Amino acid sequence: MKEKKEKIFLSIRFKLFMVFTILLLGTCICVFTFFTYRFSNVYNSQVNSHMADVTSLSTANVSNMVDQIDQLSVSILVDQVVQDNLAVINGNVGGYDKETGTGSIASYKAAISSQVRGSVFNIKGVISLRIYSKSGEEIFVGTTNREFLEYAQSPEEIYKANGKALWSLAGDANYACMCRAILSTGDMQPLGYLVIICQNEYFSSELTTVSSSYASKVYLVDKDNCVVAANSSETVGQKFSYSLEALKTAEPMTINDPSTGESSYYYTGKPLQNGWTLVTTVSTKQFRKGIMASVLQMGLVIGLALILALFITMVAVRKLIGPAKLLLNSMSAFGNGNLDSRVKFSGNDEIGQIGSAYNQMADNIQNLMEKVYSLELAKKEAEIEFLKMQINPHFLYNSLDTISWLGFMGGNEKVSDLAVSLAKLLRASIKRNAMITVEQEMEMVQIYLHIQDYRFGDKISVECDVDLEAEQCYMPSFLLQPLIENSIIHGLEKQVDKGKLSVTVRREDVWLYFCVEDDGRGMTEEQVESLLAQCRDIKSAASIGLKNVYRRLQLLYGESCRFEMRSAPDDGTRISFRIPIMNEEEAKKYEQ
C-alpha cells in the first residue's frame, strides 16, 4: 500500500500575515516614494509666496491712496484762507443782522469753498468735502452726496484727537470717510473739523485689480474689525468674521472665506498708518488646480496598485476564509436550534482542526441536551405536583383546629357555617386547575378569611383592593392564601392590639402585581434573610406555605417574578411579587 504524504502544516495566521504584509508593504512604498518626491515642499512654498506677494501689492496700493487723502486733508487744514475765514465764521456766532447789514458769513464760506475746490477734485476717489466750523456752520464742497451722514466719531472725539486723522464708514451706503480737526496755526486751538468722503468703490476698485494667478479675496479691515473695502462688495460694511489678533496666531492657516464660505488659506499684512489691515484669502481648491497633473499621476499609480491588491486579496480571502464562513454558518444554525447542523470540509490547518472539534462538540451537546431536557422536565413536573399537594394537608390541619375550637366553645350554627365554608375551600383545592382567574383566586381568599373571622373576630381587619381590569387575568391557583395565612399566624395572631391585613392586586402594563401586607410583629433583617434562604433551599422543610409559593413562582417564571419580602420589628411585614399577564389561551398551556 502506497504511503500517504504528510501534509505540510501552514497556519492561517502565517498565511494572512504573508499576504497582507506583501500587499501593504508594496502599496506603502509606491505611495510614500511618489508622494515624498512630488509634494514635499509644494504646498508650503506656494501658499507662503503667493499670499505674501498679493498682500504686499494690495498694501502698497491702499497705502498710497490713504496717503493721498491724508495729504489733501493736511493741505486744507493749513491753508491760510481756510484758517482766516473759519476764524471769522466762528466769531460771527449771531449770524446776519438785517438792520445793520453786518454779520453775514456766506461770503466767508464761499471763500473757503472756492479755495479748496480745485484740490478736492484733483483726487478721483473723493466725492465731497465737508468743513464744519467750531460754531457749527457747514461748508460743502462737491457735486453729489449732499444727504445727511452720521459719522462714527462725534465732534468732541475729533477735537480730542488733536489733528490726527480718524477713518471710518458713514451712512447706509458705507462711504469711506476721514475726519480731522482743523487747528489754528497760531495757537493750535480748534477752528473746526473737516470730513473727506470717498466713493464706495474707491478702495475696493484697487483691490479688484490685484494681478494674481489665483482667484484671491482681499479684505480691508479697520481697527473695529469692520470691512472697509473688499473685492467682494457684499461684505463691505459688515463685521469681519474673524478676529485679526486670533488670525495672526491661528494654526493651521485656513479659514472659511467670509464671502464664499469655502475653506481658504489666509494671510494678514502689516497694519497701515491709519490702523487698517489687509487680509488676503485664496480657496484651497485653487492650489489643487496647479498640482492636478501630479495628483493624477499619483492617483494612477495608487489605482493600479489597489486594483492588483484587491484581486490578490479576493483570491486569498476566498481560499483562506471560505472554510471559516462555512463553519460560522453551521455554528449559527446550531445556535438557532438546528441541532443536526454540521460542517463539511477537509483541511490540515487551524480551521480544519476547529471544524473537526466543532462537529464532535455538537454531537456531545446534542446528546447531553436531550438527556438534560428529559430529566429537567420530569423533575419540574414532579416538583410542581409535590408543591401543590403540600398545601392541602397543611391548611386542612389548621382549619380543623379552628372547627374543633369553635365546637368546644359552643354554637352549632357557627360550626355548620364554618363546615360549609371549609367544604367549599376543600372542594376548590381538590378540583383546582393549575391556572385560574384573579377573581376566582380572590373568592377562595374570601372563603379562607371568612373561616378565620370565626377564630379571631374583630381582632383582625382585612382590606382587599383589586383592580377591575385585573380580575379576568389568569394566575397560578392558591398563591395568595398561603401568604395570608402566614401573615395571620406569624404576624397578627400573637400581638395584643388589633391588627390590619391588606391584599392588593394591580395591573400595570404587561404585569400583574400582588402585595400582602400586615402591621403585625414583623421581623428583623436577619430573620427575613434566613426565611428567604429557607425558601431557596429545596431540601429545607421549614416555612412550608411561604416556600411553596416561592418555589412555584421560581419554577414558572424564574427571576422575572421579583419575589420580595420587607419587614421590621413591630412595623409589620410586606410580601410582593409580579407575574406576566396571561389570557385564557395562554393559561391552558400550564394545565396538566
Q: What is the DSSP string of 228-296?
A: EEESSGGGTTSBPSS-HHHHHH-SSSEEE-TTT--EEEEEE----TTS-EEEEEEEHHHHHHHTHHHHH
Based on the number of CB atoms within 10 Å of its own CB, is 383 exposed (0-12), middle (13-18) or buried (19 or more)?
A: middle
Examine the pLDDT at 63 and tell me if it is beyond 80.
Answer: yes
The SS3 call for residue 135 is coil
CA neighbor of 276 nearest in space, from 48, 50, 67: 67
Q: What is the pLDDT of residue 477?
A: 86
Cell digits of residue 376: 429537567
Pairing of strands 511-518, 573-580: antiparallel
Examine the pLDDT at 181 and tell me if it is beyond 90.
Answer: yes
Q: What is the pLDDT of residue 257?
A: 83
Q: What percent of the chain has pLDDT over 90?
A: 11
Burial of 270-305, coded b for 16+ CB within 10 Å and e otherwise, reads eebebebbbbbbbbeebbeeeeeeeeeebeebeeeb
The SS3 call for residue 197 is strand
Examine the pLDDT at 114 and tell me if it is beyond 60.
Answer: yes
What average pLDDT does the segment 21-34 reach? 73
What average pLDDT does the segment 488-492 reach? 85
Confidence of residue 13 (pLDDT cuts 50, 70, 90): low
Based on the number of CB atoms within 10 Å of its own CB, is 430 exposed (0-12), middle (13-18) or buried (19 or more)?
A: exposed
- Dihedral Cα 473, 479, 481, 486, nearest 10 deg: -140
Based on the number of CB atoms within 10 Å of its own CB, is 494 exposed (0-12), middle (13-18) or buried (19 or more)?
A: exposed
Q: Are 105 and 61 within 8 A, CB to CB?
A: no
Q: What is the pLDDT of residue 281?
A: 83
Examine the pLDDT at 315 and tell me if it is beyond 80.
Answer: no
Confidence of residue 16 (pLDDT cuts 50, 70, 90): low
Got the DSSP string for 365-411? HHHHHHHHHHHHHHHHHHHHHHHHHHHHHHHHHHHHHHHHHHHHH--
Q: What is the pLDDT of residue 382?
A: 45
Q: Are 109 and 153 within 8 A, CB to CB?
A: no
Q: What percent of the chain has pLDDT over 70?
A: 70
d(CA 181, CA 136): 13
Q: What is the pLDDT of residue 193?
A: 92
- Specify the DSSP class assigned to residue 101: T
Higher pLDDT, 550 or 6: 550
Q: What is the pLDDT of residue 381?
A: 54
Q: What is the pLDDT of residue 578?
A: 94
What average pLDDT does the segment 244-267 reach? 79
Examine the pLDDT at 255 and tell me if it is beyond 70.
Answer: yes
Q: Which residues contact 446 (CB under 8 A, 6 or more apart)?
A: 464
Q: Which residues contact 162 (CB under 8 A, 6 or more apart)?
A: 181, 183
Examine the pLDDT at 512 and tell me if it is beyond 90.
Answer: yes
- Record: fold of 371-588: Heat Shock Protein 90 (3.30.565)
Cell digits of residue 201: 468703490
Q: Which residues contact 62 (CB under 8 A, 6 or more apart)?
A: 203, 206, 207, 220, 229, 272, 276, 278
Examine the pLDDT at 559 and tell me if it is beyond 60.
Answer: yes
d(CA 228, CA 135): 31
**Which of 17-21, 224-228, 272-276, 404-408 is least confident?**
404-408
What average pLDDT does the segment 133-162 reach? 83
Examine the pLDDT at 492 and tell me if it is beyond 70.
Answer: yes
- Specify the DSSP class assigned to residue 491: I
Burial of 465-492, coded b for 16+ CB within 10 Å and e otherwise, reads ebeeebeebbbbbbbbbbbbbbbbebbb
d(CA 101, CA 98): 5
pTM of the model: 0.46
Examine the pLDDT at 576 and tell me if it is beyond 50.
Answer: yes
d(CA 129, CA 141): 5
Examine the pLDDT at 27 and tell me if it is beyond 70.
Answer: yes
Examine the pLDDT at 400 and tell me if it is beyond 60.
Answer: no
Examine the pLDDT at 9 and tell me if it is beyond 80.
Answer: no
What average pLDDT does the segment 148-171 reach? 86
Examine the pLDDT at 43 and tell me if it is beyond 70.
Answer: no
The per-residue pLDDT for range 438-461, each reduced to its tens digit, is 998 898 888 888 888 877 878 888
Confidence of residue 54 (pLDDT cuts 50, 70, 90): confident
- Specify the DSSP class assigned to residue 97: B
What average pLDDT does the segment 248-259 reach? 77
Question: Chain-wide mean pLDDT for the chain?
Answer: 77
Examine the pLDDT at 152 and tell me if it is beyond 50.
Answer: yes
Higher pLDDT, 569 or 46: 569
Q: Which residues contact 552 (CB under 8 A, 6 or more apart)?
A: 384, 387, 388, 476, 479
What average pLDDT does the segment 551-571 reach? 88
Examine the pLDDT at 32 and tell me if it is beyond 90.
Answer: no
The per-residue pLDDT for range 339-383, each reduced to its tens digit, is 677 777 666 666 666 767 777 777 777 777 765 665 465 456 545
Q: Are 180 and 157 within 8 A, CB to CB?
A: no
Q: Are 454 and 419 within 8 A, CB to CB?
A: no
CA neighbor of 487 nearest in space, from 515, 460, 458, 518: 518
Higher pLDDT, 259 or 507: 507
Higher pLDDT, 72 or 248: 72
3-state secondary structure 546-570: HHHHHHHHHHHHHHHHCCEEEECCC
Give bridge partners of residue 265 from the DSSP assignment. 254, 282
